[in-house]
Structure 1
């Protein structure tokens, strides 16, 4: 480790992990993609400090994190809105912040949203595993969740920080409305289950993590009650265990599962799920695939439309 090019963890918070763009392409080995759950927030944090998109950041959960930087540089905090301080003084959020060597950078508890992203110029230079520095809670690959006293190496700065005072960010909604495309096992559920999915308000369970978000609310009745052989799972799959309440799978999800999947979230809505705090309300907007338009025999676009009320 180059002298001074490190960050020392002083307070790890409830759960802080190293994350980058993940390790896609290994599902056949039973390894999920992993990576930053709120990808736009991760990318913005890297842009603000002059990093490439694949540089590793610290993803915090709920209660933030506190670190000491070993050398002068630039930091940025994005994602969940949380007050930021440098040596006890208020600092910018969603902005490049210069810090002196030895400074204590504190991301406090999130006041809106759940996960914040702390980027350093040069990025976290933990050893990559299968091409990624991401912590995977399910398989145990990558760095362990952060603990007090950990020292994380930093890479060399790739470019200057962004020439902005503050960067615009998306809105962190108090109630989420998530688009869900039905299938592949919708036929295992009753028509009433599909109606309930689109008409009910659910709440995020405290038993949620990077593997999946468990929801509390109306149970979705099944038409077929026999066991389903294990089959592949994808990011954003909405699986329904035996109790009937849906689970939304996130980046550390298992690659195989035996409960039926009633639908899959629109990928653009996944960052919202990353910011869904325990107790927060969630609604689903059920959509169905439109026929793919073709030009000269080739697909032009796939679209979706709301399922009409029945």
Structure 2
């Protein structure tokens, strides 16, 4: 069991989400940066899909009521006073010890995995908190107790060769469409020509951007149609929104392009004030 002494600015339990329910209006949700959650789970020998804690801008204090192996991945945060606590490698938290996590100097979301996984009650097959629909456990608050599952299904603990990415300008690779024909000629090129700035209104639903407005070639709106993670939707303001894990299953604003799956983690780590560029090039 883990006691939440302080959750930081915003913290939730997340696994890999609840796919297969979009036709019922239920979003997939799950970790915004799934690659980082998977890495943290691998580091403590868990199956990649077990639930962990997703921290937004760090700042959490957690007391382990029983000893456990833990690991951190994603946005790098200072960790202590537990011996060996840090990013990208497993460490042992003794019974009764408090793990304190600071704020990341870069990136937005940090993932804490514990051997055995966070074993809150699942909803529709997932332990993820969905900030849009309200499904799943509530966001963490001071005094909450998080059960930890048995490590019986866990494998060998081993350190992954996973160097932290070097800081640099964020670039999101874009596949055009499906509604790029709703925009004025040259709109896609304009989207890729200049950087956009992440606004304070961003959250797990989507990254809201401020920059060159994208002009429409058609009036009105589409009938609601299915949306996917990474869809770049453009409302009448012309300012794009990149959908993340808690995006709505449907939407009526046209989508000018969709991020490559590998770049969803990059989008999930963008914080307010960051600059980001788009590209349609196919290279890595």
TM-score (norm 2): 0.95
Q: Does 1:144 align with 2:152?
A: no
Q: Which runs of 5+ in 2 are unaligned?
A: none
Superposed displacement of residue 170, structure 1: 4.5
Q: Which runs of 5+ in 1 are unaligned?
A: 1-5, 288-303
User: Which of 253, 259, 281 is 1:265 aligned to?
Assistant: 259
SS of 1:191 mapped into structure 2 = coil
Q: Does 1:11 align with 2:6?
A: yes
User: Which of 40, 58, 63 is 2:35 aligned to?
Assistant: 40
Separation (CA, whole Å) in 2 of partners of 1:26 and 1:160: 30
SS of 1:203 mapped into structure 2 = strand
Separation (CA, whole Å) in 2 of partners of 1:170 and 1:25: 32
Aligned residue runs from structure 1 range 204-283, under 5 A:
204-283=198-277
Aligned residue runs from structure 1 range 120-159, under 5 A:
120-157=114-151, 158-159=153-154
Superposed displacement of residue 192, structure 1: 2.5
Q: Does 1:92 align with 2:82?
A: no
Separation (CA, whole Å) in 1 of partners of 2:101 and 2:10: 13
Aligned residue runs from structure 1 range 3-82, under 5 A:
6-82=1-77
Superposed displacement of residue 161, structure 1: 5.4
Higher strand fraction (1 or 2): 1
TM-score (norm 1): 0.87
Residues 43-66 of structure 1, C-alpha deviations (whole Å, 9 max, x = no match): 111111111111100000013321
1:161–1:82 distance in 2 versus 1, CA, 3 Å: farther
C-alpha RMSD of the superposition: 1.7
Q: Is the 8 A contact 1:138 1:254 kept in 2?
A: yes
Separation (CA, whole Å) in 2 of partners of 1:184 and 1:160: 42
Q: Which stretch shifts more, 62-71 or 111-120? A: 62-71
Q: Which stretch shifts more, 172-181 or 22-31? A: 172-181
Separation (CA, whole Å) in 1 of partners of 2:123 and 2:167: 35
